[in-house]
A and B are shown apart, each in its own frame.
Chain A
Amino acid sequence: MAMDAGTIEKLILEAIPDAIVKIEDLRGDGEHYAAYVASPAFEGKTRVQQHQMVYQALGDRMGRELHALALQTSVPENK
């Protein structure tokens, strides 16, 4: 069970349209990814809430098709 980086990016952008998303396939196996997501929508939210927004975008794929996703979120500095 694997997922390609493009699908992850698409799902995140569908839920958070103004996000800047960078996906890295950590091991080249299509199972271990790192995602960097920056969006003005994260403003005023805690890290937990920011990550929850990304997890929600991925729905129940997290932990199933998507085995591991290291996540880092931020608010872009120059809006």
Chain B
Amino acid sequence: MLWPCKHPCRKTNRKDLRKINMENVLFDRIRKELEENDIVLFMKGTAAFPQCGFSALVVQVLSTLGVKFKDINVLEDNELREGIKEFTQWPTIPQLYIKGEFIGGCDITREMYETGELQTLLQDKGINIAA
């Protein structure tokens, strides 16, 4: 709840307040997704039909590892598309989260997969992967 406020609101214009309010609601929604799902991938398109090569690559890595993940298509929701960048402080999509922790985008995910760090991280967090 933003109203009533204890501090003088007149200095903050309505547009700012709307933005803050929107971010609160959106960030709560993101947090909820991260709590409810072990692996969350914010991506362009869906796991079945990725619409960007970088997103497709992360889907491929996760599928190869045989782990279940929740795909969230940011192309369907412009607010989320911008909001997730603010939330993570990361300027690009895809964004991979494992057990609520931001792992990285396409480059880091691929690098970690190639070095085996991703596999270790998943196992450490109690997520089974395909051998």
Inter-chain CA distance A63–B54, complex, in Å, is 13
CB atoms of A63 and B92 under 8 A apart: yes
Q: Which residues of A contact B103 (CB under 8 A)?
A: 48
CB atoms of A47 and B108 under 8 A apart: yes
Inter-chain CA distance A62–B91, complex, in Å, is 7
Total chain B interface residues with beta-carbon distance under 8 A: 15
Given A48-B102, A48-B104: A55 and B90 within 8 A (CB)? yes
Q: Which residues of B contact A55 (CB under 8 A)?
A: 90-91
CB atoms of A52 and B104 under 8 A apart: no
Q: Which size class do A's interface residues fall under?
A: 10 to 19
Task: Assess whether B35 is interfacial by the CB under 8 Å rule.
Answer: no
**Residue of B whose beta carbon sits closest to that of A58:** B91
List A residues 34-79 near B (Cβ within 8 Å): 47-48, 51-52, 55, 60, 62-63, 68, 70-72
CB atoms of B107 and A71 under 8 A apart: yes
**Residue of A whose beta carbon sits closest to that of B92:** A63
Q: B67 → chain A, closest Cβ, in Å?
A: 20
Indicate with 1 or 0, residue by residue over B104-131, a CB within 8 angstroms of chain A CB atoms: 1111100110000000000000000000
Inter-chain CA distance A63–B82, complex, in Å, is 11
CB atoms of B92 and A47 under 8 A apart: no
